[in-house]
Amino acid sequence: MPQNEYIERFTKQHGKRLDHEERTRKKLAREAHNASSKSQNLRGLRAKLYQQKRHKEKIQMKKAIKQQEEKNVKGAEDTGPSTTPKPAYLLDRGKETNAKALSSAIKNKRAEKAAKFSVPLPKVRGISEEEMFKVVKTGKKTAKKSWKRMITKPTFVGPDFTRRPVKYERFIRPMGLRYKKANVTHPELGVTVQLPIISVKKNPQNPMYTQLGVLTKGTIIEVNVSELGLVTAGGKVVWGRWAQVTNNPEHDGCLNAVLLV
Amino acid sequence: MATVLPPPSKRQKTAAAAKAREPVTAPTPPPEASVRVQFRDSDTNASQGPVVSVSLADLRPNNLSLLLNSLLGRTDPSERLPYRFLNPLGDGEFSQEKVIQAYLDGVATTELQLDIPCRAEAVFKVKAVTRCSASISGHGEAILATAFSLATSSRLATGSGDKTARIWDCETGTPVHTLKGHTGWVLAVAWSPDDGILATGSMDNTVRLWDPVKGTPLGGALKGHTKWITSISWEPYHLREPGRPRLASASKDYTIRVWDAVSQHTDMALTGHKGNVSCVKWGGAGLIYSASHDRTVKIWDSKSGTLVQTLNAHAHWVNHLALSTDFVLRTGFYDYKGKSTVPETTEGKRKKAKERYDAATAGAGGIERLVTASDDCTMYLWEPSRSTKPLQRMVGHQKQVNHVTFSPDGALIASAGFDNHIKLWSASDGKFLSTLRGHVAPVYQCAFSPDCRLLVSASKDTTLKAWDVRTGTLKENLPGHEDEVFAVDWAPDGERVGSGGQDKAVKIWRN
């Protein structure tokens, strides 16, 4: 269990307060009143900051509403000039989802059997250990021997990772630099989907970085594609598929990757 | 010196000791009592043979089968029919243990007579398909429809998105004819019940007729529809006027057209639907059934073209409908022996087709049943000639039901839905029997084997699966297609299964 999830752990063990639902409902119901009174009554810097915050919230809200409306649009499109042949029973059933397009494209690519071992980024810049690790010098003994390292690059840490006791912990992977999701692009279709990372398969810099889950440009990661609904030739749902990191996550603050097909 | 075995471990020793301590009990012998047995037909409840006295020890299905055959006077081994017995005291299969247990528990007594429901099964047995015998490429686009020839399983017709229909030789896995002429995707293919004409319906709003032996078109396109053709159904052989075969085609333009295949003219246009007509079936009693996206099922008279009935119950599109006599109407005078038992004269053929139709409807009292599948996730079972009210509403699917079919003997209904499941229902009362789980994506179509013991289903998850209907379990998983499978058909003689889909290859499966 990650160490910051103590509240979730507590609720799992003991459950919630008996009046939890009631309290959340009331809190939610009061929210509008609170917001209104604050925006009317705050003065000076506080009012400014509050309006800023409110402005951002409203933008998000409008985006969400717009998305929802797009989702709700009934598919009244004319299927006549569709390019892919479909049987009569599927003709009036709206258009293909992105996932399906992904699936067929991957299969077509497989059939070609071309470029099996090539990856989109064949070469990467070497990263030295000095750049990768910062020596931790806190405490008397640690400073004296300086055996403790902090990783300065983004990492992927699996959900079941528990920190070792501080005394024995040689590598520290900072919480702020951990990633759980990657924006994965399909190279041919240009569709980008945010997918959860399953594991780091290969860091080309150093096998040790692979073990530590360091994410640098050119790293091969495994992403969870189950929500795309891809299936294998044997009719099982494909779960994990490999992708290569295409950006410098330590510079950009996000993780972009391209699917290996 | 020979190697000495190591002494038994403590676990082995305790296990052996525990086994030795256990008292050995002989299995309890079945009670000596005998019971008076009356066999009854499970569909009609008519008694089969006289009441006989059988000892409980002998109540095994194979003994009962032999007994029933001899009671009905079929003493010659070649005449015997296989029988399936159902549990007289509850649901499910007949089992000796259950019956004996009922007597021991006092639920049943030997003083009352025991009515055992039984049903004659097909005399021939279809083996489950297990392997892909041929994967034939040739079509340039996805395959949208398949149909086996009725006379022999060596001919398969497919319609494809490359604007052609093709006829394949399944013995050798080679193409026989390419039927070119359509200018749009071929959405429907149907063999006429005498196997002499192949009809194809297309996205280009026309129906075309072909000679399946020579591979040549019979006349030009049948023009009349203004939108694409969704389904084609031929007039049953026993109803047809000699020398004037007819077919009905349903279209997206809200109409059904009945065509004369010889003169190539529209006989009638059946208008009245207010939505896309998704499916049309020509029944054996001279009625045409059509299902539509306007939520209704309409029944038309095939002689005059008038509307007989409108069945309203569904709350959303009606996707598909099936008749309890579909299989016999499709195969006409061909039975499971194929060409060898076909009568020579037209009159003989008509007589045989009529006989087969009458035999198929005998179980339900001489009338056809109808089942309709809809987007409202339900199905309805109808007896249109008795009442406009549905016999049963069949609920259970979690998503739209796309395809529904009756087993060839008319005893079961299988429904395939977009919720990845296939469900089996009893056709006599629409009761739910079992769910066949295994597909991981929507199931598009399913087809029964001609002996009703197996079912094959085609799915978006690229596999076909063969199911054992009686136990409701997966019999064979048939991976092999590289993309979703749109169409599947089981040959009327049971030898082969043909399938086609997005991956452009026709696959022939056999045992």
Give the DSSP letter string of B59-100. Answer: --HHHHHHHHHHHTT--SGGGPPPEEEB-TTSSSB--HHHHH
d(CA B209, CA B6): 81
Q: Quote the pLDDT of residue A109.
A: 54
Q: Tell me the residue type at B423.
A: K
Beta carbons of B462 and A231 less than 8 Å apart:
yes
Query: What does the pLDDT average to over A45-62?
Result: 95
* C-alpha span between A175 and A157 (Å, rounded): 9
Strands A181-185 and A256-259: parallel
Q: Percent of chain B beyond pLDDT 90? A: 44
What ranges make up the beta strands (E) of B302-431?
Answer: 307-312, 318-323, 370-374, 378-382, 392-395, 401-406, 412-417, 422-426
The pair phi, psi for residue B12, each rounded to 5°, is -60, -40
Q: How far is A188 from chain B (nearest CA, A)?
A: 18
pLDDT of residue B75: 78
Q: What are phi and psi of A101, to 5 degrees?
A: -60, -40
The pLDDT tens digits for B314-367 are 998 999 999 999 999 998 888 877 777 888 888 888 999 998 898 888 877 788
Q: In this predicted structure, which of A36-50, A79-93, B119-133, B277-291 has the lowest mean pLDDT?
A: A79-93
A112 pLDDT higher than 60:
no
Do residue B319 and residue A89 have CB atoms under 8 angstroms apart? Answer: yes
Q: Please state the rounded mean pLDDT for residues B415-425.
A: 92
B433: left (phi over 0), alpha (psi -120 to 50) or beta: alpha
What contacts A72, CB < 8 A, 6 or more positions away?
none
Parallel, antiparallel, or unpaired: how do β-strands B131-136 and B143-148 relate? unpaired
Q: Of B458, B453, B408, B417, nearest to B435 (Cα)?
A: B417
Greatest C-alpha distance within chain A: 77
Q: CA–CA separation, B363 vs A250, rounded Å? A: 75
Whether A111 and B482 lie within 8 Å, measured CB to CB = yes
Which amino acid belongs to residue A163? R
Which token pair is A39? 């925006």
Find the mean pLDDT for residues A12-34.
95
Q: What are phi and psi of B264, to 5 degrees?
A: 65, 30
Average pLDDT in the A21-33 region?
96
CB atoms within 10 A of CB B398: 10
Residue A77 reports pLDDT greater than 60: no
CB–CB contact B402 A229 (8 Å): no
Cα dihedral B393/B397/B398/B401 (nearest 10): -90
Q: Which of A205, A211, A200 has its CA nearest to residue A125?
A: A205
Stronger pLDDT, B89 or B202, i.e. the higher one: B202
Kindly report the backbone phi and psi dihedral angles of residue B129, in degrees, each rounded to the nearest multiple of 5, phi listed first: -70, 140
Which pLDDT belongs to residue B486? 93
Q: Is B346 helix (H, G, I), strand (E, B) or coil?
A: helix
Listed in order, strand segments (DSSP E) in B332-461 are 370-374, 378-382, 392-395, 401-406, 412-417, 422-426, 432-436, 443-448, 454-459
SS3 call for B488: strand
- Return left, alpha or beta for B410; rule: phi > 0 is left, psi -120 to 50 is alpha, else beta: left
| CB contacts, 8 Å: B161 with chain A | 84-86
In B303-368, DSSP assigns E strands to 307-312, 318-323
pLDDT, average across residues A72-99: 64
- Categorize the per-residue pLDDT at A102 as very low, low, confident or very high, splitting at 50, 70 and 90: low
pLDDT of residue B280 exceeding 90: yes
| CB contact (8 A) between residue A88 and residue B160 | no
Say whether A99 sits in a helix, a strand or coil. helix
Q: How far apart are CA B309 and CA B389, in angstroms?
A: 11
**Region A34-42: what's the mean pLDDT?**
95
Residue A24's pLDDT band, with cuts at 50, 70 and 90, is very high
Q: What would the mean pLDDT of A101-129 be, rounded to a whole number?
A: 66
Query: Which amino acid, B254?
Result: Y
Chain A residues inside the 8 Å CB shell of B187: 87-88, 91
Q: Say if the Cβ atoms of A88 and B228 lie within 8 Å.
A: yes
- The whole-number average pLDDT for the span B417-427 is 91
Q: Amino acid identity, residue A110?
A: R
Residue B465 has pLDDT above 90, yes or no: yes
Least confident residue range of B269-283, B357-371, B419-433: B357-371
Q: Taking CA atoms, what residue in B is nearest to A101?
A: B483
pLDDT of residue A98: 45
Q: What local confidence, expressed as pLDDT, does residue A113 receive? A: 47
pLDDT of residue A76: 46
Instruction: Measure CB to CB from residue A85 to each of B141, B462, B481 and give the nearest one.
Output: B141
Would you place residue B63 in the very low, low, confident or very high pLDDT band (cuts 50, 70, 90)?
confident
- pLDDT score for B2: 72
Mean pLDDT, rounded, for A62-66: 89
- Tell which residue, B367, B383, B486, has the closest CA to residue B429: B383
User: What span, in angstroms and rounded, lies between the C-alpha atoms of B449 and B469?
Assistant: 10
Give A86's contacts in chain B (Cβ within 8 Å).
Answer: 142, 144, 161, 486
Q: What order do you get walking across the sheet with B114-120 strand by strand?
A: B47-55, B34-41, B114-120, B83-85
Residue A252's contacts (CB-CB under 8 Å, 6 or more residues apart) are: none
Q: A interface toward B at CB cutoff 8 Å?
A: 84-92, 103-104, 107, 111, 229, 231-237
pLDDT at B306 over 50: yes
* Mean pLDDT over the full length of chain A: 84
List of residues 6+ apart from A143 with CB closer than 8 A? A137
Q: Which of A139-148, A165-174, B53-62 has the lowest mean pLDDT?
A: B53-62
Half-sphere exposure of A58 (CA within 13 A, CB side): 7
What is d(CA B227, CA B201) in angstroms, rounded to the nearest whole number? Answer: 11
| Nearest in space to B222 (alpha carbons), one of B248, B243, B252, B187 | B248
More confident residue, B41 or B21: B21
Kind and range of the H or E element at B474? strand B473-478
What residues of chain B have any CB closer than 8 angstroms to a CB in chain A? 141-142, 144-145, 160-162, 185, 187-188, 228-231, 252, 276, 278, 293, 319-320, 402-403, 439-441, 444, 459-463, 477, 479-483, 486-487, 502-503
Integer Cα distance of A260 and A182 in angstroms? 14
- Chain B nearest CA to A159, separation (Å): 27
Share above pLDDT 70 across residues of chain A, in percent, rounded to a whole number: 85
Q: Which residues pair with A19 in a beta bridge?
A: none
Of the pLDDT bands very low, low, confident and very high (cuts 50, 70, 90), residue A54 is very high
d(CA B321, CA A165): 67
**pLDDT tens-digit series, residues A222-240:** 999 887 777 776 777 788 8
Least confident of A20-29, A239-248, B75-84, B397-406: B75-84
> What's the pLDDT score for residue A110?
54
Average pLDDT estimate for B240-254:
90
Q: Are A240 and A222 spatial neighbours (Cβ–Cβ below 8 Å)?
A: yes
- State the pLDDT at residue A114: 46
At A107, the pLDDT band (50, 70, 90 cuts) reads: low
Scored b (16 or more CB within 10 A) or e, B248-261 reads bbbbbbbbbbbbbb
**Sheet with B473-478, side-by-side order of all strands:** B443-448, B454-459, B464-468, B473-478
With beta carbons less than 8 A apart as the criterion, state whether B48 and B72 touch. yes
Q: Which amino acid is at B508?
A: I
β-sheet bridge partners, residue B392:
B381
In this structure, of A174-178, B6-10, B411-415, the range with the lowest mean pLDDT score is B6-10
B20 against A81, higher pLDDT: B20
pLDDT over 70 percentage in chain B: 99
Q: Are strands A133-136 and A148-151 parallel, antiparallel or unpaired?
A: antiparallel
Asked if A91 and B486 count as a contact pair (C-beta separation under 8 A), the reply is: no
Q: What mean pLDDT is predicted for residues B386-410?
A: 91
State the pLDDT confidence band at B487, using cuts at 50, 70 and 90. Answer: very high
- pLDDT tens-place string over residues B161-174: 999 999 999 989 89
Helix, strand, coil tally for chain B in percent (to 5): 15, 40, 45
Residue B69, pLDDT score:
86
Q: Which residues of B touch A90 (CB under 8 A)?
A: 444, 486
Rounded CA separation B411/A113 (Å) = 48
User: Would you say residue A243 has pLDDT above 90?
Assistant: yes
pLDDT digits (tens, 9 = 90+) for B443-464: 999 999 988 889 999 998 889 9
Query: Over the stretch B184-228, which tens digit does the pLDDT of each residue have?
Result: 999 999 999 888 899 999 999 999 999 999 989 988 899 999 999
Start-to-end C-alpha separation, chain A: 34
Cβ neighbours for B329, distance < 8 A, ≥ 6 positions apart: B193, B236, B282, B283, B284, B323, B357
Q: Please state, for a pLDDT cut of 90, what percent of chain A lies above it.
A: 48
Which pair of structure tokens corresponds to residue B473?
């379990």
Which residue does chain A place closest to B142, by CA atoms? A85
The pLDDT of residue B123: 76
Q: How far apart are CA B71 and CA B41, in angstroms?
A: 14
Q: B52 — phi, psi (to 5°)?
A: -125, 155
